[in-house]
Amino acid sequence: MQESLDAIGEALTENGKVIVTGCLGVKEDVIKDVHPSVLAITGPHDTPAVMKAVHAHLPRPHDPYTDLIGVKLTPPHYAYLKIAEGCNHRCTFCIIPSMRGDLVSRPIGEVMQEAENLVKAGVKELLVISQDTSAYGVDIKYRTGFVHGKPTKTRMTDLCKSLGELGAWVRLHYVYPYPHVDEVIPLMAEGKILPYLDVPFQHASPRILKLMKRPASAEKVLERVRAWRAICPEMTIRSTFIVGFPGETEAEFEQLLEFLKEANLDRVGCFEYSPVEGAVANALPDHVPEDVKRERKARFMATQEKISAGRLKAKVGRTLKVLVDEPGVGRSSADAPEIDGVVRFKGGKAGEFRDVRIDRADAHDLHGRLQ
Ligand code: SF4
The pLDDT score that the predictor gives to residue 67 is 34
Bridge partners of 146? 151
167 CA distance to ligand 1 middle (Å): 31
Residues in the chain where the model's pLDDT stays below 70: 1-4, 11, 13-16, 22-26, 44-73, 218
176 CA distance to ligand 1 middle (Å): 10
Query: Hey, whose CA ends up nearest to atom 4 of ligand 1?
Result: 131
CA distances for 130 relative to 80, 225, 326, angstroms: 10, 22, 27
Cα(150)–Cα(147) distance, rounded to whole angstroms? 5
Ligand 1 pocket member 94 (CB < 6 A) = yes
The amino acid occupying position 240 is T
Which ligand 1 atom is at minimum distance from the Cα of 90?
7
Q: Quick check: 143 and 137 in contact, CB under 8 A?
A: yes
Ligand 1 pocket member 132 (CB < 6 A) = yes
3-state secondary structure 244-309: CCCCCCHHHHHHHHHHHHHHCCCEEEEEECCCCCCCHHHHCCCCCCHHHHHHHHHHHHHHHHHHHH
**What single-letter DSSP state applies at residue 179?**
G
Ligand 1 pocket member 215 (CB < 6 A) = yes
Query: Hey, whose CA ends up nearest to atom 1 of ligand 1?
Result: 89
Tell me how crowded residue 158 is: count the other CB atoms within 10 A of its CB: 21
Ligand 1 pocket member 158 (CB < 6 A) = no
> Parallel, antiparallel, or unpaired for β 78-82 and 125-129?
parallel
3-state SS, residue 183: helix
Distance spanning both ends of the chain, measured CA to CA: 46
The pLDDT score that the predictor gives to residue 258 is 95
The pLDDT score that the predictor gives to residue 71 is 47
Which ligand 1 atom is at minimum distance from the Cα of 174?
4
Ligand 1 pocket member 173 (CB < 6 A) = no
